[in-house]
Amino acid sequence: MTSFSQLNLKPEILDNLKSLGYHTMTPVQEKSLGLILARKDILAQANTGSGKTIAFALGVLSQIDSSQKNVQALVICPTRELAEQVAKEIRKLARLMGNVKVVSLCGGLPFGPQAASLEHGAHCIVGTPGRLEDHLGRKTLYLKKLKTLVLDEADRILDMGFSDSLDFIVSCLPCENRQTLLFSATYPENIKNLSQKYQKNAETIRVESKAQPLKIEEIFFKTEDDNKFFVLKSLLSSKKPESTIVFCETKQGCHDLAEGLKKEGFSALAIHGDLDQYERTDVLTLFTQKSLSILVATDVAARGLDVKDLTAVVNYNLARDPEVHVHRIGRTGRAGQSGLAWNLCTRKDKNRITNIEAYQKIEVKLIEPNFKEKSSGSYEAPMVSFSISGGRKNKVRPTDILGALTASKELGSSDVGKIDIFDFHTFVAIKKEKSSLAYKILTEEKIKGRFFKVRKVTL
């Protein structure tokens, strides 16, 4: 595999890649980065988890002139979750570059603070179509000096009905010398049309992935609607996966299933389109920090949700589209690790199973669940998350939080999990058995020379 050091990247970017442990390129990075750095338009087909975010982020950062205070790059994402994750990744890759300002513009958050942030200048904007259209319409966002446009998960953007919003946004961009990078997990006719409309002589890149990663143990359980919940509880109780996404077909189905699991003592919450941005951020942060064991989701979470070490995926309702099915189960078993994929199938799923067999080129064998006794073995999440009332705008860094927690030597760094820093608050995960001690330290000791409010995050 090709090393990043062979690319014509800024020295500070290369140094940062080394410090992050990024040494060799994934296939999509290897095929696309040379073209991106040469300022070619590209149309890339690559699945979630292929490394495409790093590919376009490095291209974007290599062309930003931080001495100029105008917006030079725009990344459009279909969902708020994906936009926040992309912005976080770009900031991480830019941390040795000096004053590169990355601003996230997503719906569900107050408009005023976003507009105020833009008044002070920004180099890279990451946002969702509706909120970007809103800022452009109200003239709080100016993009006439843009160098690079990125459409991430373009097929999902179109699926969600943002075609008109895209047309308006692109109409506000310069045409001459603009580079347009289009990434899509699928390659339907409307993506070809989108490329022809927005791009110039685009180079097409396709990274084929196996329909089912080899390290995923996928099982299809034969059940009926009135027995599904019992089967799910029994599977969770017997295997006790540390982190599980359960996919449902509807928002109401997600809500009802999560409530049912909570009543049975499981650590479960639902995420879907009806949650406001603060709730969605809190739920996802708890899940990625392992302070929540079970996330019940609609397909809004099937793409763009970056969860490290996801143990299991459960299809409580089989997907209508076999390609969506592959995206769902592809959330687990990454980076050479093993994963579990459980499918709860009823007689009504016959056609969906047939489509999965044809798409994945497999033969599905339905297994009778063998749970003789009613299971009540619920289990708790391994971590507890705390919210601290200081964040990026208060110059709080992960090392400040870790240093405060471990200064007395009562807590070790291994007791501290993921630390997520937002503009005005920070989430930190602590091993459950050490959570009381961590709370005492955080409330009684100073961080960066001052006291912050601290609360245990419960939803």
- The verdict on 184 and 276 lying in the same domain is no
- The verdict on 294 and 438 lying in the same domain is no
Which tokens hold the place of 144?
């006439």
Last residue of a domain, one of 206, 230, 248: 206
Q: Which domain, by its residues, includes 38?
A: 4-206
Per-residue pLDDT reduced to its tens digit, 223-232: 998 999 999 9
- The verdict on 105 and 180 lying in the same domain is yes
Q: What is the pLDDT of residue 345?
A: 96
What is the pTM (predicted TM-score) of this model? 0.62
In total, how many domains does the chain have?
Answer: 3
| 372 domain-assigned | no
| 373 domain-assigned | no
Closest CA to 63 of 95, 80, 39: 39
**CATH number, domain at 446?**
3.30.70.330
Distance separating alpha carbons of residues 238 and 230, to the nearest angstrom: 12
CB atoms within 10 A of CB 46: 23
User: Strand 416-421 vs strand 426-431: parallel, antiparallel, or unpaired?
Assistant: antiparallel
Mean of the per-residue pLDDT values of the chain: 88
| 170 domain-assigned | yes
- The verdict on 279 and 151 lying in the same domain is no
| 211 domain-assigned | no
Rg of the chain in Å (alpha carbons): 23
| 191 domain-assigned | yes
Closest CA to 258 of 294, 298, 303: 294
Q: Which of 86-90, 306-310, 398-402 has the lowest mean pLDDT?
A: 306-310
Distance separating alpha carbons of residues 241 and 257, to the nearest angstrom: 17
Residue 213: pLDDT band (50, 70, 90) is: very low
pLDDT exceeds 90 at position 39? yes
Q: What is the pLDDT of residue 375?
A: 52
| 137 domain-assigned | yes
Distance separating alpha carbons of residues 63 and 368, to the nearest angstrom: 56
Per-residue pLDDT reduced to its tens digit, 145-176: 999 999 998 887 886 668 888 999 999 999 88
Q: What is the pLDDT of residue 211?
A: 44
**CATH number, domain at 318?**
3.40.50.300
Selected residue with higher pLDDT from 50 and 220: 220
Q: What is the pLDDT of residue 335?
A: 61
Strand, helix or coil at 389?
coil
Q: Which residue has the tokens 């089989």?
A: 318
The widest CA-to-CA distance across the chain, in whole angstroms, is 68
- The verdict on 307 and 440 lying in the same domain is no
Last residue of a domain, one of 206, 226, 252: 206
Q: Nearest 5°: phi and psi at 127?
A: -160, 175
User: Percent of the chain scored above 90 by pLDDT?
Assistant: 52
Residues in the chain: 459
Last residue of a domain, one of 206, 226, 255: 206
- The verdict on 334 and 452 lying in the same domain is no
Strand, helix or coil at 250?
coil
- The verdict on 256 and 358 lying in the same domain is yes
- The verdict on 409 and 343 lying in the same domain is no
Question: To which H or E segment does residue 254 belong?
Answer: helix 251-263
- The verdict on 196 and 238 lying in the same domain is no
Q: Nearest 5°: phi and psi at 45?
A: -105, 115
pLDDT exceeds 90 at position 294? yes
- The verdict on 198 and 248 lying in the same domain is no
- The verdict on 402 and 353 lying in the same domain is no
Q: What sign results for the dihedral spanned by CA atoms 171, 173, 178, 184?
A: negative
| 235 domain-assigned | yes
| 375 domain-assigned | no
pLDDT exceeds 60 at position 402? yes
- The verdict on 115 and 238 lying in the same domain is no
Angle at 45 between CA 39 and CA 50, to 5 degrees: 95
User: Percent of the chain scored above 70 by pLDDT?
Assistant: 94
